[in-house]
Amino acid sequence: MVKSIRGVLLMVCGYFRGVCHVTPNLSAAASGGRDGGTSQVEVAVIQHVCHYTFPSAAQASSPDRHRTMNPDITRERQHATFDVEKLTHILDGGPEKTRRRREIESMVFSDPDFKEEDPNFLSRSERYDQAVKKSAQMILKLREYGIADPDEIYCYKNCVHPDRPEPLDLHLGMFLPTLLNQATPEQMDRFFMPAWNLEIIGTYAQTEMGHGTHLRGLETTATYDPATQEFVLNSPTISSIKWWPGGLGKTSNHAIVLAQLYTQGNFYGLHAFIVPIRDMDTHIPLPGIVVGDIGPKFGFNEVDNGYLKLENVRIPRDNMLMKYAKVEPDGTYLKPPSAKLTYGTMVFIRSMIVGESARALSKSCTIAIRYSSVRHQSEIRPGDPEPQILDYQAQQYKLFPLLAMAYAFSFVGQYMRRTYNRISGDITQGDFSELPELHALSAGLKAFTTWATNSAIEVCRMSCGGHGYSRSSGLPDIYVEFTPTCTYEGENTVMMLQTARYLLKSYRQAKAGQQLSGIVSYLNEPKHQRVQPQPVAARPTVVDINDLASLVEVYKQRAAILVDLAAKSIEQELQQRKSQEDAWNNSAIDLVRASDAHCHYVVVKLFTDKLVEVGDTAIHSVMSSLALLYALHGITKNSGDFLQAGLLNVPQVLQISARIKELLSQLRPNAVALVDAFDIHDKKLNSVLGRYDGNVYENLFEWARRSPLNSTEVHESFHKYLKPLRSKL
Amino acid sequence: MVKSIRGVLLMVCGYFRGVCHVTPNLSAAASGGRDGGTSQVEVAVIQHVCHYTFPSAAQASSPDRHRTMNPDITRERQHATFDVEKLTHILDGGPEKTRRRREIESMVFSDPDFKEEDPNFLSRSERYDQAVKKSAQMILKLREYGIADPDEIYCYKNCVHPDRPEPLDLHLGMFLPTLLNQATPEQMDRFFMPAWNLEIIGTYAQTEMGHGTHLRGLETTATYDPATQEFVLNSPTISSIKWWPGGLGKTSNHAIVLAQLYTQGNFYGLHAFIVPIRDMDTHIPLPGIVVGDIGPKFGFNEVDNGYLKLENVRIPRDNMLMKYAKVEPDGTYLKPPSAKLTYGTMVFIRSMIVGESARALSKSCTIAIRYSSVRHQSEIRPGDPEPQILDYQAQQYKLFPLLAMAYAFSFVGQYMRRTYNRISGDITQGDFSELPELHALSAGLKAFTTWATNSAIEVCRMSCGGHGYSRSSGLPDIYVEFTPTCTYEGENTVMMLQTARYLLKSYRQAKAGQQLSGIVSYLNEPKHQRVQPQPVAARPTVVDINDLASLVEVYKQRAAILVDLAAKSIEQELQQRKSQEDAWNNSAIDLVRASDAHCHYVVVKLFTDKLVEVGDTAIHSVMSSLALLYALHGITKNSGDFLQAGLLNVPQVLQISARIKELLSQLRPNAVALVDAFDIHDKKLNSVLGRYDGNVYENLFEWARRSPLNSTEVHESFHKYLKPLRSKL
C-alpha cells in the first residue's frame, strides 16, 4: 500500500491538517525528493503499514435516515429537483470514494473506544486528556486495520477528532516527515523507528515568541563545542523562547529545534537539531530545559501548544540533522550541495487548506440552512403562521451566496489537490516549470479562501439568532478551530503579497514581450496593458450577465486592470525616488487588491470549468445557478472595481441585483438538498441546530440538561455569597 | 442623589449593559413614566442610596506610568503632535469626568476584595462562582459608598466585571425596573424591597426556545382559575420552554414570566407574572419548576443564562403585574388604559450599545496598535533591522480606518446619549415628536455599529499574528463578549428593516409634499427624488474629496438614492401584483442597503459635526485626518454605490485611494497617542499585548507559566495513555 517513502511522507502529512505553526520558508526545506534507495527503516515502516488488512465496516451508510424526521425538513427534501446522492459522488470524486468514506466514518463512529464526552463540558485539562487518549487509540487502530492511504487516514483522523487538531499532530505531521527528509541514514535508524513506535514523541520547534514569518530573525543559537563534540543550545532572550509548537507543552519528549548555527567562530544561519527535552521514562523535563503549555487560546483546546527555553543545553554533534549541511567533529562546516529549492510541503499544506475552507464552510452552511428550514419566526403576511426563516429574502441573501461559495471552494480544493499531484509527478521527473505558478496560486488561494470562510462562518452563526451563540450549535467551535488558518502556514496578508510578487513579475515579463503560459497568461493580452479607467460610455457593452463564460472574462479583465494599477503605483513611487523596497511597501494596498482579484478570477473560472464535467442535467442546472450566484454576488460586492474599470455599466449593475434576487428564489427549494449533498455525518457536524433529522428543540433541551452547571440543583455560590449578603444589606 | 424613581430606573438600567435578551416590543412596555407620587418603597430606596458619602479614592491617576517602558512605545509617545490628556477629556466629556472616572477605577482596582483569578484559567463553574462573589461585593460597596449616579455605577460595574456581563445583570437591569414600572403599590411593597435587598433575586423570562423577536408567537400560558384565585402557568411544548434569560439558571429565586393570558375562556395576549421558582431559604426549585443552565456559550461564561419549564405552576392572582391590565377575582379581564406607547427603555439600551461598540473597538485598537508598535517582523529594506510592524502600509491599512471608526462611534455614542437625555426630557413634558426618529436611528445605528465593530475586533485580533489567538491578548474575550450585541436587543437585520420602515414612510411623506424635519429631511430635497443612475459624464463634479462637508453631502445623496431605489423595488413588486408584505420581503436586500447608507451618512455627519466643538488646534488637526480617513475609506469600500449613482467619477475614486495612503502616513506618528487617549486602564484592557508599558514578551511568558496545564510538570495522560502505548505497537 505504501509504495515509497514519499508515500509515507504524504501519509503523515496528509494525515494532519496544517496545524504546524510553521512559517513558509523552512517548511519548504522539509520536503524534496529522496535520492537514495530504500533504507532499513523505510522497509520496516512499509512492512508495518501493510501487515494487516481492512476490517469490514459495520455499516456502510452514514446517518440513520429512518428515524422520526421534522416534517419541515422532510418537505424540503421532497421538493429537491436533483438526486442528492449523485451530487455527493461528484463532491467525493466518485461513488466508490463516497462508499469508502462512509465505511470509514462508520468504523469510527460505531467504535466504543472513540466515544467521547462533549468537549464543551470538560475543562481544558480534561479535553487534552481525552484527546491524548483518542490519539493513542487511533494510532493503534490505524495500524491494526492497516489504513495507509493518505486520504483515508485523513478521513479517519477527522472522524476520531472531528475536524479538531490533536496533541500528536506535530509528531506525525512534522517530526516524522522532517526526519525522513533531513536525517542521515544513521539518524534514521536512531530516531525514526523509536518515533514511529511512539517511544520518541517529537515536535517541530521553529516559531519563537518574538519571531514568526521572518526566519532570519530567529534568535535561538546552537554553538558547536569541539572539545566535547557537542552543540550548546541557548535561548538568549525572552523573545527567543520557542512558542506555539503543537504538542510541545506536555506531550513531546523530543523536539526538532531550529537554531542559528555558530562553529569555529563563524555564523552559518538556521539549521535543525534534534533535542531531547524530557526524560524518556519519567517524562520530567531534562536539565536546562524550561518547557510548558502556552496557556488557553481561542480554540485549539485539545492541543498543548508549548514554549521551550533552552539554557546551555548540550546535545551530541550527530543530533544536528546532517543529510545536507554538516558540521565535522573538529567544527568544520560543510555547506549543503546547492539543493533545488522545492516548495512541495508548503504548497501541499496550503492546497489542503483550500479544501479545509470548503469543509468548514460546508459544515457552517449545513447547520445554518437546515436550522433556517425548521425555525419559524415572525410573519411575512399578517395572520399567517410564522414562516420558516429561510423564506425571508434577507436570510437567503445571507446564506445562499455562502452556499455557492462552499461549492466553489470545494471544486477549487479538488483542483488544487489534483494539480498538486500532477505537478509533484512532474517534479519527480525533474520538471519544476509549473511549480512557481502553483506556489503563487496556493499562497493566494489559501489567503482568499480562509479570509472569506472566516467571515462566512460568523455570518452563518449569526444567521441562527440566539441559538447560534450556544456551543451546542457547533458554530462557535467551527469558528475557533478554523480561524487560525488565516495566520498559520503563512499569514494571509503576507501570502497575498507573495502572490502579488508573482503577478508583478509575470506582468513585467509580459510587458517585456515574453509569452506567459498558465493562469497568468491573461497578462499577455495586449488590451489590458493599455487599459485605463475611462468613462463607461466609451466602452462597448459586451458582457452577458447570464453567461458564465462572459463573467469569467470580466473577472479576468478586472484582475488584469488591478495588476496594472499596482504596477503603476510602484512606478509612481519609484519616480518619487523611493527605493524598490519602499515603493513595494507603499503599494501594498494595491498589491493585495490585485492578488485578491486574481484569486477571485481563478475561483470563478474553476467553478465554471467544473460545470463541464457535470453530466447530470438536473445537477448541472442547479450548479449553474450556484456558479452564477457566486459570480454575480462577487460583482455586486466589488461593483466599484467593475464600474471603475468600465467593465460593466450602471444598468448592468442594476440588472445584476435583480438577477441575484431571482437566483435566490430559484435556489430556495433546493437549499436543504444542496447542504445534504455535502453528506456531513451528524457526529462530525456535532451540531444540535444542524441535525439531519431537524429535531432541534428536544435535543437542545437534552444537551443543556447534561451541562456541568446542572450537575447540582443548587450552586455552592448561593450558600457562599448570595444568602449571606441578605444580612449585610 | 437619586432624585426620582426615574432616577432609580435609569440607574439600574444604566448599571448594566443590554444583556437582557429581551426583544423589542415588551422591553418598551418596561419603560414609561410614573404618574403617582413617591411611594413608601421609593422613599426607602432613596434613603438607602443617599445614606453614605463617597470615600476618598486611594489614588487619582490610573496606570502607573513611571514603570520601565518599552523604548519603542516611549519613542512613539514622544512623537505625538497633540496633548493626549486633552483628547481624553473630550472623550470623557470634560476634565472633571475624566478625574472622577479614574477615581472610580482606582477605587475598584486597588480594592483587594475585587482581586480576581484570570477567568481564562478557571472552569465554567469557577468563573460563575467568582462572578457571583464579586457581584455580591459590588452591591455592598456601591451602597456603602453611596454611588448612585447612573454613569458612575456603570463605570464602577465595568471595572468590577471588566466589560463582562454578570449573574445579577437581569435582577438589577430588568427585574427591578419592571417592578417599578408595572407593579401596583401593593406589589411594590411585597416584592420591591425584598428584591432591593436581594432576598428576592429575579430575572425576566420572555424569550422561549422557539420564539424570539416575534412576541405574539410566545407559547407559555397563564390560565386563571377563579376557584382558587390562582393563575396556572404552563410550558405546553418543548419550544415554549423559557430560554436565555440571564441569571435564570442558578442565581434567581423569582422570575417575571411573560405568558399568554387566558381567563373566562378568552385569550388576552401577553402579560407579565411574578413566579417564585426556587425556595427562598434552600434555593431548591419549587414543585412544577424545571430550571437550569442552558449550557456553555460563545462567551458569557460568567452568566447562568437559563431555561425554565413550567408544569401546572400555580401563583396567586395578585402575582400578575397589574398596574395597567387587571384580572378581577372572578376572572373578569380589565384592559389597560390606552397607555401611550413609549420606546424609552428600548431606545435607551440601543443607544447604549452604540457606546459599547465604541468601547469594544477602542479596546481592540489599543491592543493591536500598541502591539504593532513593539512587534518587529521581517524587513522592508534588506539588511535593516526588522521594522515595527506598524510601519507596513498593509498593517496601517488594516488598523487606522478602525481607529478612525472607534473615534467616529465614540462621538456617535455621545450624541445618542445626549439626544436620548434631551428627548426623554421632552417626553416628560408630553412631547413625543422626536421619539420615532430617535427610535429608528437607534435601531439602525445599533445594527450598523455592532456589525462594523464585530468584524473590526477580528481584524484587530488577526493583525496581531499568532499571539492574537492567545487568550492573553484579551482579543478573543472582547470578541465573544461583544458579538451577542449583533443579536440581542433586536437582531441586526430586523433592526435595519425597522429603520428602513421609517425611511420609507418618510420618503412617502416627502413625496406627498410633506415637509420633513430632523435627520431625514434630505428626503425632501427634490433633486434626489428625481435622481436616476446615469453616466458619470452627465453629472457635474462638485465633490471636493478633501472637504468633509462635501463628503457629508455625498454620503447624504447616496442615502437618498438608495432609499429611492428601495422604494422603487417595492413599487415594482406591487406592479407585479404582489401583496404589500411580499413586496416588502422581496425588497429586503434593498431596504437593508438603504438603512446602512443612511446610518453611514449619520456617522460621517456626526463625526464632522463634532470637529466644530474641538478648540485645540493640534487635536482638531488629527481628528480632521481621522474623520477624513473614515469618510474616504467608507467610499472606497462602497465605491460601487458612489460610481453607480454618479456621485463620484473614476478619477476621483483613484484620487481617494491615493489620499488614503497619504492619510495613513500622516496618522502614523500619532497612532499610539490616539489609542492612549482612550485611556483604558491596563486592568480593564486585560491584555498582555496591549499593556501601556509595551513589555509584551516577559509578561506573555509570565502569564503562560501560570496557566493550569503547567500546575504539574507531567500531565497524567502520559502515564495513562502514551507510555502504555509503546508496548502495544
| Residue B134 pLDDT greater than 60, yes or no | yes
* Span A111-123, average pLDDT: 95
Nearest to A543, CA basis, from A527, A558, A554: A554
| Residue B33 pLDDT greater than 90, yes or no | no
* Span B183-202, average pLDDT: 96
User: Which residues have CB under 8 Å from A256's CB, separation 6+?
Assistant: A174, A175, A178, A179, A202, A203, A204, A205, A272, A273, A274, A275, A321
| Residue A325 pLDDT greater than 60, yes or no | yes
- A704, three cell numbers: 443543556
Which 8-state DSSP code applies to residue A54?
A: P
- pLDDT tens sequence across B383-423: 888 999 999 999 999 999 999 999 999 999 999 999 998 98
- B623, three cell numbers: 481628528
Active-site annotation holder among A489, A553, A573, A581: A489
More confident residue, A378 or B322: B322
If pLDDT is split at 50, 70 and 90, which confidence band does B380 have? confident
The pTM of the full predicted model, rounded to 2 decimals, is 0.93
Integer Cα distance of B283 and B291 in angstroms: 11
**Residues of B with a known catalytic role:** 489
Q: Which residue of B has its CA nearest to A723?
A: B199
- pLDDT tens sequence across B492-512: 999 999 999 999 999 999 999
CA A429 to chain B, closest CA, distance in angstroms equals 35
User: Which of B499, B580, B701, B719 has the highest number of chain A CBs within 10 A, making it the mutation to test binding with A?
Assistant: B701
Interchain CB distance below 8 Å, A714 and B217:
no
- pLDDT tens sequence across B636-649: 999 999 999 999 99
Share the mean pLDDT of chain B.
89
Please give the single-letter amino acid code of residue A35: D
Nearest to A46, CA basis, from A196, A165, A198, A167: A196
| Residue B17 pLDDT greater than 50, yes or no | no
CA A487 to chain B, closest CA, distance in angstroms equals 6
Say whether A117 is catalytic. Answer: no
Of the candidate ranges A75-79, A613-617, B3-7, the one whose mean pLDDT is the lowest: B3-7
Interchain CB distance below 8 Å, B393 and A297:
no
Nearest to A442, CA basis, from A346, A555, A341: A346
* Span A59-76, average pLDDT: 72
* SS3 label, residue A260: strand
* Span B295-320, average pLDDT: 97
Please give the pLDDT value at position A2. Answer: 35
Nearest to A212, CA basis, from A346, A357, A26, A354: A26
Please give the pLDDT value at position B150. Answer: 84
Of the candidate ranges A165-174, B37-46, B184-193, the one whose mean pLDDT is the lowest: B37-46
Share the mean pLDDT of chain A.
89
Please give the pLDDT value at position A6. Answer: 43
Contacts of A296 in chain B (CB under 8 A): 120-121, 470-471, 707
Assess B280–A contact: CB distance below 8 Å, yes or no.
no
Please give the single-letter amino acid code of residue B427: I
Q: Strand (E) positions, B70-116?
A: none
Contacts of A592 in chain B (CB under 8 A): 394
- B622, three cell numbers: 488629527
Contacts of A207 in chain B (CB under 8 A): 466
Query: Which residue has cell 504524504?
Result: A10
Which B residues in the span 441-500 are in contact with A, Cβ-Cβ below 8 Å?
454-455, 458, 461-462, 465-466, 468-472, 475-476, 479-480, 483-484, 486-488, 491-494, 497
Query: Which residue has cell 517530526?
Result: A175
* Span B179-194, average pLDDT: 94
Which B residues in the span 39-78 are in contact with A, Cβ-Cβ below 8 Å?
none
Please, what is the angle between helix B393-428 and helix B650-667, to 10°? 90
| Residue B425 pLDDT greater than 50, yes or no | yes
| Residue A40 pLDDT greater than 60, yes or no | no
Interchain CB distance below 8 Å, B140 and A492:
no
Please give the pLDDT value at position A66. Answer: 55
| Residue B55 pLDDT greater than 70, yes or no | no
Q: Closest partner residue to B397 among A476, A589, A657, by Cβ?
A: A589
Contacts of A201 in chain B (CB under 8 A): 722
- pLDDT tens sequence across B673-723: 999 999 999 999 999 999 999 999 999 999 999 999 999 999 999 999 999
- A205, three cell numbers: 520547534
Integer Cα distance of A410 and A97 in angstroms: 15
- pLDDT tens sequence across B541-583: 578 999 999 999 999 999 999 999 999 999 999 999 889 999 9
Residue count of chain A: 729
Which A residues in the span 128-167 are in contact with B, Cβ-Cβ below 8 Å?
128-129, 132-133, 135-136, 139-140, 143
If pLDDT is split at 50, 70 and 90, which confidence band does B526 have? low
pLDDT-above-90 percentage for chain B: 79
Please give the pLDDT value at position A529. Answer: 42
Please give the pLDDT value at position B578. Answer: 86
Interchain CB distance below 8 Å, A377 and B710:
no
The kind and range of the H/E element at A655 are helix A650-667
| Residue A577 pLDDT greater than 50, yes or no | yes
If pLDDT is split at 50, 70 and 90, which confidence band does B601 have? very high
Please give the pLDDT value at position B305. Answer: 98
- pLDDT tens sequence across A500-559: 999 999 999 999 999 999 999 999 986 544 444 444 444 555 789 999 999 999 999 999
Contacts of A194 in chain B (CB under 8 A): none
Alpha-carbon Rg for chain B, nearest whole angstrom, is 27
Q: Closest partner residue to A491 among B198, B465, B710, by Cβ?
A: B465
If pLDDT is split at 50, 70 and 90, which confidence band does A382 have? confident
pLDDT-above-70 percentage for chain A: 88
Of the candidate ranges A25-29, A228-232, A289-293, A446-450, the one whose mean pLDDT is the lowest: A25-29
If pLDDT is split at 50, 70 and 90, which confidence band does A339 have? low
Please, what is the angle between helix B344-374 and helix B71-78, to 10°? 110
Query: Which residue has cell 565535522?
Result: A328
| Residue B105 pLDDT greater than 70, yes or no | yes
CA A619 to chain B, closest CA, distance in angstroms equals 27
User: Which of A120, A201, A298 has the highest number of chain B CBs within 10 A, making it the mutation to test binding with B?
Assistant: A298
If pLDDT is split at 50, 70 and 90, which confidence band does A1 have? very low
- A259, three cell numbers: 537554531
If pLDDT is split at 50, 70 and 90, which confidence band does A201 have? very high
pLDDT-above-90 percentage for chain A: 79
If pLDDT is split at 50, 70 and 90, which confidence band does A434 have? confident
Please give the pLDDT value at position A250. Answer: 98
How much is the ipTM here? Answer: 0.92
Of the candidate ranges A30-34, A455-459, B55-59, B221-225, the one whose mean pLDDT is the lowest: A30-34
- B441, three cell numbers: 436611528
* Span B457-481, average pLDDT: 98
* SS3 label, residue B256: strand
Please give the pLDDT value at position A53. Answer: 35
More confident residue, B143 or A347: B143
Integer Cα distance of B249 and A714 in angstroms: 10
Query: Which residue has cell 384592559?
Result: B335
| Residue B35 pLDDT greater than 70, yes or no | no
Of the candidate ranges A210-214, B458-462, B608-612, the one whose mean pLDDT is the lowest: A210-214
* Span B469-489, average pLDDT: 97
CB pairs under 8 A between A and B: 409
Q: Closest partner residue to A697 among B239, B469, B644, by Cβ?
A: B239
If pLDDT is split at 50, 70 and 90, which confidence band does B185 have? very high
- Please provide the DSSP assignment of A420-458 as one string: HHHHHHHHHTT--TTHHHHHHHHHHHHHHHHHHHHHHHH
